[in-house]
Amino acid sequence: MDFSETYKHSGPCAWSPDGKLLAIAVDYRLVVRDLDTLQVVQLYSCLDKISHIEWAPDSIYILCGLFKRAMVQVWSIENAEWTCKIDEGPAGIVHARWSPDGRHILTTSDFQLRVTVWSLVNTACVYVQWPKHATRGLSFSHDGRFMAVAVRRDCKDSIHVLSCDTWEIMESFAVDTFDLADLQWAPEDSCIAVWDSLLYYKVLVYAPDGRCLAKYQAYENALGVKGVMWSPSGQFLAIGSYDQAVRILNYLTWKPLMEHVHPQTIRGPSTVVVYKEVEETRDFDASTLSLDADSPEELGEGAVNCRDMIVRARYQVCEVPVNVPCQKPLPDKPNPKQGPGLLAWSADSRFVCTRNDNMPTAMWIWDVSRLELAAVLLQKEPIRAAAWDPLHPRLILCTGNSRLYMWSPEGTSCVHIPLPKFTATNLRWNPNGQSFVLLDKDTFCCAFVPPPSGYEDHHHDHHDS
Q: What is the CATH number of the domain that holds 44?
A: 2.130.10.10
For the domain that residue 175 is a member of, what is the CATH number?
2.40.10.480
**46 and 109 belong to one structural domain:** yes
Q: What digits encode the pLDDT tens for the residues 15-28?
A: 999 999 999 999 99
**190 and 86 belong to one structural domain:** no
Residues 6 or more apart whose CB falls under 8 angstroms from that of 412 comprise 275, 315, 375, 377, 405, 406
Mean pLDDT score, 93-106: 96
**94 and 46 belong to one structural domain:** yes
Flag whether 125 is in a domain: yes
Residue 179 belongs to domain spanning: 133-217
pLDDT score of 301 more than 70: no
**55 and 115 belong to one structural domain:** yes
**97 and 144 belong to one structural domain:** no
Domain final residue, candidates 217, 234, 258? 217
CB 380 within 8 A of CB 422: no
**186 and 174 belong to one structural domain:** yes
Flag whether 113 is in a domain: yes
Flag whether 313 is in a domain: no
Flag whether 433 is in a domain: no
CB 23 within 8 A of CB 32: yes
Tally of structural domains, the chain: 2
Please name the amino acid found at residue 428. Answer: R
Flag whether 95 is in a domain: yes
Flag whether 62 is in a domain: yes
**139 and 198 belong to one structural domain:** yes
Flag whether 324 is in a domain: no
Mean pLDDT score, 293-309: 48
Domain final residue, candidates 201, 217, 233? 217
Flag whether 321 is in a domain: no
pLDDT score of 456 more than 70: no
pLDDT at 393: 96
Of 81, 85, 61, residue with least CA distance to 73: 85
pTM for this entry:
0.89
Q: What is the mean pLDDT of the chain?
A: 90
**108 and 188 belong to one structural domain:** no
pLDDT score of 297 more than 80: no
Mean pLDDT score, 270-275: 96
Domain final residue, candidates 67, 96, 129? 129
